[in-house]
Amino acid sequence: MLTTSLLMTSTLIGTAGLGDLDTLPQQAIEPIMITLPKGEYTLRDTEGKYLNRTVQIAPFSLGKYEVTVAEFNQFIQATNYTMPDKCYHKTANGLTFEAKGNWQANDKSTGFYHPVTCITWHAAHAYTQWLAKVTGKPYRLPTSVEWAYAAKAKQSSDYYFGDKDRNPQACDFENVRDLSSEGERQFHTNSSNGRLKWDCIDNTGYTSVVGTFKPNQFGLHDMLSNLNEMTLSCPEDWGATETSEQNCHTKISVGGDWKYGIKPYFHRSNMPTDFSGAVEGFRIALSGLAPPIEQQTLRTAVFKASLEAAQHAARTQNKLASEIPDAVQQLKIKQNGLLTHLSWQKSPDPEVSSYRVYRSYSSRGALKLIANNVLDPYFTDANSDVFTYRYAVVAVKHFMQSDYSNQVYASRVHTHILPGRIEAENTAGKNRNTVEVTNDLDGRYHIGGWRGVLPEQSSRYKIKVSKAGLYKVHSRVASKESNQGFTLSVNGKQYPFPITDTGGFQHWQTQEGTAIFLEKGEHHLDLAVTEGNWRLNWIDMHPM
């Protein structure tokens, strides 16, 4: 995580050269490209299994860097292309909801020489068409096979720095999800999921200036991280080498990103063409050889020089970042009613100035900052509720935040009185479903993360039934599809509750299910997910 002064420096780096470019003739900034030799590529599935198919790759050129905000700006200025005004860019429990923001104004790619994000596939494709038209060169997006060939860079390993993603060299080559990115996220959003992917430190929180880190063996930068990249290819034709536009509503995206981490060269995922998010970007491809440097426009030359200055400043800035302190040890918990007392071992490092306390509503959800500038090695949470909370503590040294301590749980069993409402997040014991704040005022909390609840997840509730009989069941859900939903089990009997598509995770509906028989007294009610892709806010049970 950067200090305040370094963050200000980052902002200056991000805008350097903007005025210079705007005063030049309106020539296009063309991509700085690398010509890749012909070769062959053996297809692999997303799990890494080799398939019985090898394709021949003709010589082609690929952008040395991901397309930057500066380059995309020229396209918007020239065309007035209509861009979306919402983007998945706010960090809470992941990038889980659309918020106001666009390619110019979002939380994660703030610099002029950072890769452009919060754009759709349609916008990226339109950019390549415009660039091809104004330059007379057939620029385009790469196919997924071309991209994988370029990312592999003729190496035998899954990553061009080795076979293991946790290789300490990863931070030399890529902007990874590491201790510094976690610290940046925690500091600015008070939120993190507490599951690190890399132990090394790259001193970059979100997106980085393109080309800040070392290139692969082909000379290409940021191929396995920074941003997930868009391609021409459709999912059903992912192994095709055809470079003409393929008509489909979902495209293949490739590579890793600053948030979810490095991915091996064969990794791919699907991206709707109208989706706009903060971890997706693109780079330019061109069949055949890269244009000779003598054909470079003045605007391109100035951009290149300004980019090199920004890269140098970013690398210098990274070297100045402070050392990350050691993790807090021996976090312990004691409960007294709704008071939760935490204590831990005081850091032996004299430069550790304070601690921060994080809390989550579930065993899977995001950790959120609840106490900052804690000076002593203990803390009492007096604002807890009936949740089964998860806690972690970090040490702070010169604005840098440590990795998490061991995590502890405050177990409280809430008894739901029936007839009445069962709040989905108030479970008996650890909640194995992610708990998030519901997007409307009435909802409060729900279970289900950015993908909704997952198959085979479950929750247990303690209920107290005042009168035996048949109870009508209503559930408040948000779903992307109609499916088998979940099953409720009580006293050895199971009751299925299918779910109807509500139009997405931001659209809540109260749906009626089957009636169930409840005996008087205290019982455990178990909810088991049959099919996922939905969220649950509450369940109402009242006599028929």
Q: What is the mean pLDDT of the chain?
A: 83
Query: Which pLDDT score is estimated for 3?
Result: 32
State the pLDDT confidence band at 44, using cuts at 50, 70 and 90.
Answer: confident
Rg of the chain, C-alpha, whole Å: 26
Q: How far apart are CA 405 and CA 394, in angstroms?
A: 6
pLDDT at 177: 65
User: Do 329-410 and 29-320 have the same topology in CATH?
Assistant: no
Query: At 235, is the pLDDT very low, low, confident or very high (cuts 50, 70, 90)?
Result: confident
pLDDT band at 7 (very low <50, low <70, confident <90, very high): very low
pLDDT digits (tens, 9 = 90+) for 156-194: 888 877 766 567 777 778 877 666 555 444 444 444 444
Q: Please, which pLDDT band fits residue 260 given cuts at 50, 70 and 90?
A: confident
Collect all residues with Cβ–Cβ distance below 8 Å to 52 and sequence separation of at least 6.
none
409-464 residue pLDDT tens: 887 778 899 999 998 888 886 556 777 777 665 557 888 877 788 887 888 999 99
Fold of 29-320: paralog of FGE (formylglycine-generating enzyme) (3.90.1580)
Map residue 44 onto helix, strand or coil.
Answer: strand
Task: Using pLDDT thresholds of 50, 70 and 90, give the confidence band for residue 320.
Answer: confident
**The pair of three-digit structure tokens given for residue 376, joined into one six-digit string:** 């002593």
Place of tokens 């429990």: 93
Whether cis (ω within 30° of 0) applies to the bond prior to 419 is yes
Is the pLDDT higher at 1 or at 474? 474
The yes/no answer on whether domain 329-410 falls in CATH 2.60.40.10 is yes
The one-letter amino acid code at 498 reads P
Give the residue with greater pLDDT, 16 vs 213.
213
* Helix 69-79 / helix 121-135 crossing angle, nearest 10 deg: 80
Structure tokens at 116: 């452009």
**What pLDDT, on the 0 to 100 scale, is given for residue 69?**
94
This prediction has a pTM of 0.68
Task: Give the residue extent of every domain in the chain.
Answer: 29-320, 329-410, 416-543
- Spatial distance between the Cα atoms of 185 and 54, rounded to a whole number of angstroms: 41
CATH T-level assignment (fold) for domain 416-543: Jelly Rolls (2.60.120)
| Whole-number pLDDT of residue 432 | 65
The distance between the two most distant Cα atoms of the chain, rounded to a whole number of Å, is: 86
Residue 349's pLDDT is 95
Whether 540 contacts 471, CB under 8 Å: no
> What pLDDT was estimated at residue 161?
76
- Least confident among 22-26, 376-380, 527-531: 22-26
Mean pLDDT of 313-339: 85
The answer on pLDDT for 35 being more than 70 is yes
Q: In what order do the strands lie in the sheet with 378-381?
A: 332-336, 339-343, 378-381
Please classify residue 319 by burial: count the beta carbons closer than 10 Å to its beta carbon, then call 0-12 exposed, 13-18 middle and 19+ buried.
Answer: exposed
